[in-house]
């Protein structure tokens, strides 16, 4: 085993700001220094601590900005380079002191392959049976970025993001961590290649989750131990509640000391060179929200809501979401035929189904002043997979879209032609959706499709069909992405998702990491105020209301990304930071105040300008 550690190249880092995850990792790969003379499995390097363990177990400590150890093929019983095509899985038994994500790298004679792995919880032995096909390419499942890229098991989950390629000439396998927090350790044993799936399972017969839904095999200062403690903390919170008036909000959440034309519905307008929502009474309005808010209305979330949730929203200065408050609607569409999220758009029956769905969802809301607008979808996952998507259509069932594609490719079938077909089909899809919504509700805004990653220019230009272009941006700050989206679409920008988390308490950090809960509050202020300083900003929605389950949601994600934890207690540092920013937001967006400018820390080693490179 050989371990390497290095610091970021700022030029590499800046270029990666403009890339999606897959592109960024390919760029990172060019910056990873080669390891000369890979050592034996138990060897250490200066950035690793080799600690005493039981026979057959190796314990590695990660530190610095980036740390990686490599397993040469001879340790897996293979010559180097090795052809791994006879094998289906890489199997590792591991125990991690931290829930922080690991990056897996496969080094071949002609390129790198990569994926991520998050173990559920911490301090428990588990077996990870890792499908080698995830280094080779995507499967064809999924309808948005998460469902296309996340794959869960019983003990861990995988992020399938590439770069991809064959495994015919493998030199070594690397296990790495970016900005490791508090010198985490990983113990490894029984690492081997397998021709079968040996199952990803926990190997300890002990309770892993306590009665409150918290990870059982770790302790931390705010961990709930008794029902009495939980009751007391929630009661203390109620005594601290403020109101929407503390933020200068009027009835619908607009700024009561401003006035534009009132139409009885939310709309957008450029005032003095800056974009704003205008609330039904004509007040300037900025939309802050939290996905999954009880009562819905901020991206997603549609349970009945609660008095406590609304009191929190008012007290925190959140303008969007909750029962009986202004909110967005996430529309749902038929998915009988699904090619990576693209339906059978050339089918007349599909068009009829879309109009019927729009009538069901929009007609009854057409005169509701609390409706901010409609999202028509979320994160199309086929970007840079257009040729693959066409392959799925051509090998799939007989559909109108398959017939249209065959006609389009009849003269010449090239990757560029396939891209052109997908882009044209996507534009047609948006035209169908927007036409249906506007037929049954001409009063409310079309808020876009919440693009994720770096979509092609042609796709972003097509977003001009909306009233608002929504983008999901997981960065420390989103200004570059906002500027590009605004210039290409010609529309003002609403951030549909962002978050920052801490790898602790059995939960992974999420897509953007902070050092601790105080830094998570700093991260909220930095992101939202930097975004609000741009003329195109209309608002931003945090993902999400509650921490994800420690044993993962449906696709495995188990992130510390909530405004509240699994016991329903708010994170005080995040709340106070959000309140501070929300009280400044109008003046920041108006250009009267400079935005908060302190970049949050990912660990004691600092932080990258973007989480997508090291």
- In the chain, the N- to C-terminal Cα span, in Å, equals 21
Segment 332-344, tens digit of pLDDT: 999 888 899 999 9
pLDDT at 343: 96
Q: Does residue 35 carry a pLDDT above 70?
A: no
Read off the pLDDT band of 300 (50, 70, 90): low
Q: Distance between CA atoms of 382 and 532, rounded to whole angstroms?
A: 30
Q: Distance between CA atoms of 452 and 529, rounded to whole angstroms?
A: 21
Secondary structure element (H or E) that encloses residue 289, with its range: strand 287-291
List the structure tokens of 542.
């945090």
Q: For residues 378 and 449, is the Cβ–Cβ distance under 8 A?
A: yes
Segment 185-218, tens digit of pLDDT: 999 999 999 999 999 999 999 999 999 999 999 9
Q: Which one, of 432, 434, 469, 431, lies nearest residue 448 by Cα?
A: 469
Question: Per 3-state DSSP, what percentage of the chain is helix, strand, and coil (rounded to 5)?
Answer: 30, 20, 50
Q: Which one, of 484, 493, 478, lies nearest residue 529 by Cα?
A: 478
For residue 187, the cross-strand partners are 59, 95
User: Phi first, then psi: what are they for 502, rounded to 5°?
Assistant: -120, 130
pLDDT at 405: 98
Ranges of each domain in the chain: 2-202, 289-590
Q: For residues 295 and 305, is the Cβ–Cβ distance under 8 A?
A: yes
> Which of 113-117, 194-198, 592-596, 608-612 has the lowest average pLDDT?
608-612
Q: Distance between CA atoms of 277 and 284, rounded to whole angstroms?
A: 6
Tokens 């979509």 belong to which residue?
Answer: 455
pLDDT at 305: 72
Q: For residues 331 and 437, is the Cβ–Cβ distance under 8 A?
A: yes
Query: What's the predicted TM-score (pTM) here?
Result: 0.92
CATH classification of 2-202 is 3.40.190.10, yes or no? no
Cis peptide before 163 (omega within 30 of 0): yes
Q: Does residue 23 carry a pLDDT above 50?
A: no
Q: Is 56 left (phi over 0), alpha (psi -120 to 50) or beta?
A: left
CATH classification of 289-590 is 3.20.20.80, yes or no? yes
Q: How many residues does the chain have?
A: 614
Q: Distance between CA atoms of 114 and 110, rounded to whole angstroms?
A: 14
Q: Quote the percentage of the chain above a pLDDT of 70.
A: 90
Taking the CA atoms of 14, 20, 23 and 29 in sequence, report the sign of the dihedral they define. positive
Q: In Å, what is the CA distance from 255 to each residue of 107, 469, 584, 593?
A: 56, 23, 12, 16
pLDDT at 614: 47
């Amino acid at each position: 085993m050989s371990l390497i550690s290095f610091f970021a190249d700022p030029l590499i880092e800046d270029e990666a700001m403009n890339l999606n995850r897959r592109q960024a990792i390919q760029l990172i790969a060019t910056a990873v220094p080669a390891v000369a003379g890979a050592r034996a499995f138990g060897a250490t390097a200066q950035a690793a601590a080799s600690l005493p363990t039981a026979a057959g177990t190796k314990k590695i400590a990660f530190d610095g900005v980036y740390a990686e150890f490599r397993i040469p093929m001879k340790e897996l019983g293979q010559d180097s380079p090795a052809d791994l095509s006879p094998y289906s899985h890489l199997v590792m038994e591991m125990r991690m002191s931290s829930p922080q994500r690991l990056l897996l790298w496969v080094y071949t004679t002609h390129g790198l392959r990569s994926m991520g792995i998050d173990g559920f919880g911490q301090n428990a032995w588990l077996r990870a049976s890792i499908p080698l096909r995830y280094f080779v390419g995507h499967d064809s499942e999924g309808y948005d970025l998460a469902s296309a890229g996340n794959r869960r098991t019983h003990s861990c989950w995988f992020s399938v993001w590439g770069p991809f390629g064959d495994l015919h000439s493998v030199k070594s396998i690397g296990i790495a961590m970016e900005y490791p927090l508090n010198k985490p350790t990983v113990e490894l044993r029984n690492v081997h290649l397998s021709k079968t799936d040996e199952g990803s399972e926990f190997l300890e017969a002990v309770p892993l989750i306590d009665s409150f839904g918290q990870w059982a095999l770790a302790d931390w200062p705010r961990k709930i131990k008794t029902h009495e403690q939980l009751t007391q903390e929630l009661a203390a919170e109620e005594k601290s509640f403020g109101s929407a008036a503390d933020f200068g909000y009027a009835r619908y959440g607009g700024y009561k000391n401003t006035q534009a034309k009132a139409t009885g519905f939310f709309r957008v307008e450029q005032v003095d060179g800056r974009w704003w929502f205008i609330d039904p009474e004509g007040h300037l309005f900025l939309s802050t929200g939290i996905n999954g808010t009880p009562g819905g209305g901020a991206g997603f979330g549609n349970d009945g809501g609660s008095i406590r949730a609304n009191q929190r929203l008012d007290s925190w200065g959140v303008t969007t979401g909750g029962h009986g408050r202004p909110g967005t609607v996430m529309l749902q569409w038929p998915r009988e035929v699904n090619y990576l999220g693209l339906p059978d758009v050339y089918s007349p029956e599909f068009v009829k189904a879309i109009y019927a769905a729009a009538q069901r969802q929009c007609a009854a809301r057409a005169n509701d002043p609390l409706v901010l607008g409609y999202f028509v979808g979320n994160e199309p996952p086929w970007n840079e997979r257009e040729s693959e998507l066409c392959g799925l259509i051509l090998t799939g069932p007989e559909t109108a879209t398959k017939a249209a594609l065959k006609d389009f490719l009849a003269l010449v079938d090239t990757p560029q032609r396939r891209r052109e077909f997908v882009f044209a089909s996507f534009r047609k899809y948006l035209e169908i959706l927007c036409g249906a919504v506007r037929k049954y509700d001409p009063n409310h805004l079309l808020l876009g499709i919440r693009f994720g990653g770096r979509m092609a220019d042609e796709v972003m230009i097509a977003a001009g069909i909306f009233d608002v272009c929504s983008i999901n941006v997981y960065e420390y700050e989103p200004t570059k992405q906002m500027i590009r989206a605004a210039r290409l679409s010609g529309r003002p920008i609403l951030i549909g998702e962002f978050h920052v988390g801490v790898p602790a308490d059995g939960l992974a950090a999420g897509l953007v990491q902070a050092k601790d809960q105080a830094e998570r509050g700093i991260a909220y202020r930095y992101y939202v105020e930097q975004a609000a300083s741009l003329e195109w900003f209309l608002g931003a929605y945090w993902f999400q209301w509650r921490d994800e389950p420690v044993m993962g949601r449906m696709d495995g994600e188990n992130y510390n990304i909530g405004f509240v934890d699994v016991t329903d207690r708010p994170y005080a540092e995040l709340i106070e930071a959000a309140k501070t920013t929300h009280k400044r937001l109008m003046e920041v967006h108006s250009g009267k105040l400079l935005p908060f400018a302190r970049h949050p820390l990912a660990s004691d080693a600092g932080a990258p300008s973007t989480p997508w490179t090291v």
